Structure 1
């Protein structure tokens, strides 16, 4: 996951300052979306809007750590600007994150591979002889890498281990979980498109990613639509309705209520600048597009803002949330907090009001992975916290030990007074049996994390 480029972030900051001067803001001024009018006499928790809640997300949600032999080799060749230890984090399969960890926003890194095989036979396997080096695992070269279609991975050739190789595999897991859990809070899927090469001095030649051209961006939308039917997605067209721009909706009538968004999946484009401009070209308000783009308030497509550093950007995040935009930020970065146990960034992220707060450590125990590689680790975790609003009431009505997993909380910046955390629940699924992955059983089977203690 790359950090936002400085000049793009500065544009967001400047635009939000202008919005703050022009728009009178209150915690509940999002307005009334035509699709879900608010019941002023007796509002319910399903009248709450997307921007009035806060959800837990995971960073690079597919990621598994490199094999020990590859990690040791990477340390010997990595230039100073590359830190192999920052690759030492892992996540369980996506359905596990939804059902067992309370995650409602995921992130997938994508590389284009329309013909298949471009990222097969990773260079790392060749230069390290990884198969004989690590007797417990074969070289990482799953057969899905030979198939046509967008791939999900972190760094070609080196950091490629993933719980789902094909984008369609990952999205099928999301769709099947959603189908098996009707009435769930909306799931946001953040997609980072990777087409740049590392330009440092390495002793090996790496695979050059294909660029995400305008045609490939159209193909990506189409690929997503092969998995998700239109009625299972919440798209920019759904938000905009008859309005001219997304910006005028989110700063005016506002986002739809949960009654309209439960069971839906929405897609967010992580990239800014060139790729985002290419995606918007001919679609200034994202007409016909699948993904929401991160842009400065006031722009026709402005609805979602990515501000990954809550330490630097907390005031900017709060302004965006107050103005009606939805924001993604991060609670931690690999592997700083996992080693120090410091929660300053985490605390700032949740307090900022960002609707999606991403972490690599949604449940206890994940930092133990560092010990397997001989690194120190702390007892760090970043779950969804209780809200500060109505703390006394929450204490009086403390949830029992067997209460359902908490997956949403009242937004500390934008939630209205009637929002109550313990009432933010999802219905029990009709069956306790998870829907199996679609397609070939072996190809679609997610690979479990290896090292978590």
Structure 2
């Protein structure tokens, strides 16, 4: 396989799934196949909704009325992905999103204890490292390199590219050729914005996980969620100019979905 060494992770667009574990029910009638089947079909981004437990977390959408899942225990979900990855060692890197559910209608217990805390992030890290080796992961500290923040590292990398230099200088999004077969762990914080309070005193948020959220100007800005790509074209352009990866949600079952995708693609979406 010959891959141009100039190609890096922010030069690609890939498909992902929302609520990747979800099974249909009366209220929410969409369903995904098992994780391995999605990977076989080319999906390279998963979103797993976490409900916190004492030791090993579980995966489903909402308590009581939307809790059907094809992958209940987080550790088992991770094992499925790991086994598939071992069998397909040259796959495009997988973006693995984790969202801790913390509103009362989602999970009544987590809000009572103050919502997402650093210890919860640390516990997810532990569960990940019980399945994946450090060498099989792409971590935020690697992308930050010697820069003071992840955002500045990505901005510098993009400025270099705009000036004609695609050399990898041990910071910024890594080359595809050295990223094959790996996983990027991501905390999805778009809905709750908890990282603002936790980041500076939470080692796994600073050095292990990427944080997917909506702002461009935070020190951890790297994967930016855009809610409506058809009305936020300027943000899509700014994301690209700053070397950020853009994640959008197109929805389910709409006849307009593919047209929306084509329009958004012009502005440099990634996931």
TM-score, normalised by the number of residues in structure 1: 0.52
Query: What secondary structure is seen at the aligned counterpart in 2 of 1:156?
Result: coil
Residue 50 of structure 2 corresponds to residue 90 of structure 1: no
Q: Deviations over 1:253-308 (max 9, x none)?
A: 34211012111100222214542224413259943333334363332212221113
Unaligned runs of 5+ in 1: 1-42, 72-83, 115-147, 199-205, 357-453
Identify if the C-alpha distance between structure 1 residues 105 and 342 changes in structure 2 by more than 3 Å, giving closer, same or farther. closer
Note if 1:262 corresponds to 2:180.
Answer: yes
Correspondence for 1:383: none
Residues 314 and 348 of structure 1 are in contact (CA less than 8 Å); yes or no, is this contact kept in structure 2?
Answer: no
C-alpha deviation, 1:207, in angstroms: 6.1
Q: Higher Cα Rg: structure 1 or 2?
A: 1
Answer 1 or 2: higher relative contact order, Cα 8 Å, separation at least 6: 1
| 2:249 corresponds to | 330
- Map 1:375-390 onto structure 2 (within 5 A): none
- Alpha-carbon distance between aligned partners in 2 of 1:255 and 1:327, rounded to the nearest angstrom: 13
**Counterpart mapping for 1:193-212 below 5 A:** 193-198=100-105, 208-210=108-110, 211-212=115-116
Count of equivalent residues? 251
2:27 aligned with 1:110: no
**Aligned alpha-carbon RMSD (Å):** 2.3
Asked if structure 2 preserves the Cα contact closer than 8 Å seen for 1:296 and 1:302, the reply is yes
Match in the other structure for 1:281: 200
Q: Within 1, Cα distance between the matches of 2:268 and 2:231?
A: 14
Task: Tell me the CA shift for residue 341 of structure 1.
Answer: 5.2
Q: Does residue 61 in structure 1 map to residue 20 in structure 2? A: yes
Q: For the Cα contact (< 8 Å) 1:304–1:325, is it kept in 2?
A: yes
What is the CA-CA distance between 1:93 and the residue it aligns to? 0.8
Shift of 1:193: 1.2
Structure 2 residue 261 is matched with structure 1 residue 346: yes
TM alignment of 1:39-438, pairs within 5 A? 44-66=3-25, 71=26, 84=27, 87-99=28-40, 101-114=41-54, 148-198=55-105, 208-210=108-110, 211-253=115-157, 254-272=172-190, 273-283=192-202, 286-294=205-213, 296-331=215-250, 333-334=251-252, 337=254, 340=255, 343-356=258-271
- TM-score, normalised to structure 2, is 0.84
> What secondary structure sits across from 2:230 in the alignment?
helix
- What is the CA-CA distance between 1:182 and the residue it aligns to? 1.0
Does the CA contact (< 8 Å) of 2:247 and 2:270 recur in 1? yes
Residues 162, 46 of structure 1: alpha-carbon distance in 2 compared, 3 angstrom cutoff: farther
In 1: Cα distance, 2:221 partner to 2:135 partner: 23
SS at match of 1:317: helix
User: CA separation in 1, counterparts of 2:240 and 2:204?
Assistant: 20
Give how far 1:330 is off.
1.6
Instruction: State the Cα deviation string for residues 122-148 of structure 1 (Å, max 9, x = none).
Output: xxxxxxxxxxxxxxxxxxxxxxxxxx5
